[in-house]
């Protein structure tokens, strides 16, 4: 397929089916876009929307989030999962309020990557959606789109090969619109039954939630978001057969400073 034909397909789908109503697409605000990108990590769009709206209502600016206690932030995040993201996001805003983001594109990305929890993908996504910078990045929907149109007969496709295509088709000065369109089209392909990320060299299947340490961590934080508790109560939340796993999850939460212990009583960190 020619690059021109490919771009016509993406733009046509965008005009007809684009998710222009997504709340993070209604803003160019760096902080609000950063919040959406962190929330969207390993979490589906429809699940994120209500959490995003409630979180932004409670913490409308980076300064408000930076000044909030960690326990308040974790309570607002409760139910979204991967709670360490909330801690890192708060730390990122504490750095952000003292950072001037200006200069060249490379300098912007470098400064974004210096924020807690912000890696190469998130930095470039924020650069595209908040600053409309002509950057190259890949996520699961984008990978599906490129693989479907350019590598259908290949079994293992590297991200470098996908990046080469993305570089060639990127419409200069329209990065924000383009990546939104690519992601929407990729989501459409997946809903249609086209799931090609297993053909990627970088594909790793996410482990099941039920029975996982993530489930144990979530159960602990759910209790602590309402009251303090003891180790005996917390480690038995998922039944006696999972006490060792839940105890390990509790120890991890303490070591990550998401949970604190004082005189044998556990609570959310300050």
Looking at the annotation, which residues are catalytic?
37
Could you tell me the end-to-end alpha-carbon distance of the chain, in angstroms, rounded to an integer?
55
The residue among 100, 97, 98, 119 whose CA lies nearest residue 108 is 100
* Contact call for residues 240 and 204 (beta carbons, < 8 A): no
3-state secondary structure of 195: coil
Q: What is the DSSP letter of 262?
A: E
The sheet with strand 229-230 has its strands ordered as 229-230, 265-268, 259-262
Give phi and psi for 241, each to the nearest 5.
-70, -15
């Amino acid at each position: 397929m020619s690059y021109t034909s490919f771009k016509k397909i993406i733009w046509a789908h965008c005009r007809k089916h684009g998710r222009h109503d997504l709340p993070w697409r209604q803003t160019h605000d760096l902080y609000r876009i950063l919040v959406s990108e962190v929330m969207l990590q390993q979490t589906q769009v429809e699940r994120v929307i209500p959490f995003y709206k409630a979180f932004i209502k409670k913490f409308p600016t980076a300064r408000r989030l930076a000044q909030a206690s960690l326990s308040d932030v974790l309570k607002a995040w409760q139910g979204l999962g991967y709670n360490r993201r909330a801690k890192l996001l708060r730390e990122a805003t504490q750095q952000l309020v003292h950072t001037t983001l200006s200069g060249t594109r490379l300098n912007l990305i470098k400064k974004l990557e210096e924020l807690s929890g912000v890696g190469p993908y998130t930095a470039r996504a924020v650069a595209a959606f908040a600053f409309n910078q002509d950057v190259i990045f890949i996520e699961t929907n984008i990978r599906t789109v490129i693989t479907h149109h350019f590598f259908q007969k290949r079994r293992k496709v590297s991200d470098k090969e996908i990046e080469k295509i993305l570089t060639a088709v990127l419409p200069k000065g329209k990065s924000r619109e383009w990546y939104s369109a690519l992601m929407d089209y990729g989501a459409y392909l997946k809903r249609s039954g086209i799931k090609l990320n297993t053909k990627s060299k970088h594909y790793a299947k996410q482990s099941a939630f039920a029975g996982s340490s993530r489930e144990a961590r979530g159960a602990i934080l759910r209790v602590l978001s309402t009251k303090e508790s003891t180790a005996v109560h917390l480690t038995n939340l998922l039944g006696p057969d999972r006490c060792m796993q839940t105890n390990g999850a509790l120890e991890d939460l303490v070591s990550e400073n998401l949970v604190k212990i004082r005189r044998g009583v556990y609570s959310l960190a300050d």
